[in-house]
Amino acid sequence: MPALISIAPLLVVFLLLVLRRWPAKRTMPLAYVLTAVLAFAYWQVPAVRIAAASIQGMVIAAELLYIIFGALLLLFVLKHSGAVAAIRDGFHSISPDRRIQAIIVAWAFGSFIEGASGFGTPAAVGVLLVVMRLNPAIWEFVNHTKIKIPNLLGTDISTATAPLRLPGTIFLIVSLCCLLLHRMSFRRFGAAVCESSRALVGAAVAIVFAVPMVRIFILSGVNDAGLQSMPTELAAAAAELTGRAWPAFSAVIGAVGAFVAGSNTISNMTFSLFQFDVALRIGLSPLWIVALQAVGGAAGNMICVHNVVAASATVGLFGQEGALIRKTLIPTIYYLLAAAAVGSLVLFVL
């Protein structure tokens, strides 16, 4: 029963976002409320802990939005300064075929950045990083400028952020450098700021609810019902159901973890010990089972809601998150099937 209840928020997200094609800004608030209600009513997580997990999620969401805004600002500064048009013309001179252009960007991204350096952007980033490394005082200042809130609302949940270390800060500094390097007018720069802000609003609602939902989901292990956390209950039920066939499903758990958390690292931190214990219980190599967990976590990043929301915001595809996930679901399934086949072959045949 706990496993069925714990999967309910994920099913709601999949049903509304992918099948019903709701935009993420409508889906994620409902998913957040459902997760909070289940955590409080069934898991008996104290309300103060749910609130603390939500606050922690909002801090993480603010970091994501800061990074997205910086990336958007840099994109629109390059657009309004004429740099994007120049880069596009450069690609067109190589080949008018957009498929070839996409391959160049995807497989030779470093060369692409080097080719665009005439506009000063990569140079500005490189100089900034070099100066920070060569001047210990600057690096020390950046590294230790943190906002930390321990024991949120009297719980064991803490949160911290180091804004100067976030990529958003680099994006903002480079955008300001472009103002001078590209000899932009303040009017054009202001237009880039306004356009970035409007684009950010489309992603904000979804991310502000998606990340707190994830934190409640993961931190539900401290409760008065004597249950493990929602993801652990779900994984334990899956392991009991599959038995020795677990290698075929191990990567799926990793993918579910990344789908929920938006991070392969968080997925591995949540499920690696569980995967290790399952491997010992069914008499298989823990090394291979944990490896499958990591592979699945990497695949799950392709369908993670707030990753897709962030990418959609960057290119202006607002409200089309479900359509994107339906497309990325195909390579995700292929990836997981391949992992299951290789893992089963190694563990049972070779």
- Calculate helix-pair angle for 24-41, 2-13, nearest 10 degrees: 170
pLDDT in tens, 236-257: 888 888 888 888 889 998 898 8
> Alpha carbon 228 to chain centroid distance?
24
In whole angstroms, give the CA distance from residue 100 to residue 212: 40
Q: Are 238 and 249 in contact (CB under 8 A)?
A: yes
- As beta bridge partners, residue 159 has 149
Residue listed under structure tokens 């897709």 = 308
Cα-Cα-Cα-Cα torsion 278, 280, 283, 287, nearest 10 degrees, comes to 90
d(CA 247, CA 61): 34
Prediction pTM value: 0.77
Q: Which residues of the chain have pLDDT under 70?
A: 91, 101-102, 104-139, 142-143, 314-316
DSSP alpha helix (H) spans, 82-185? 83-94, 98-107, 109-115, 121-134, 136-144, 167-181
Helix, coil or strand: residue 160:
strand
> Which H or E run includes 252?
helix 247-261
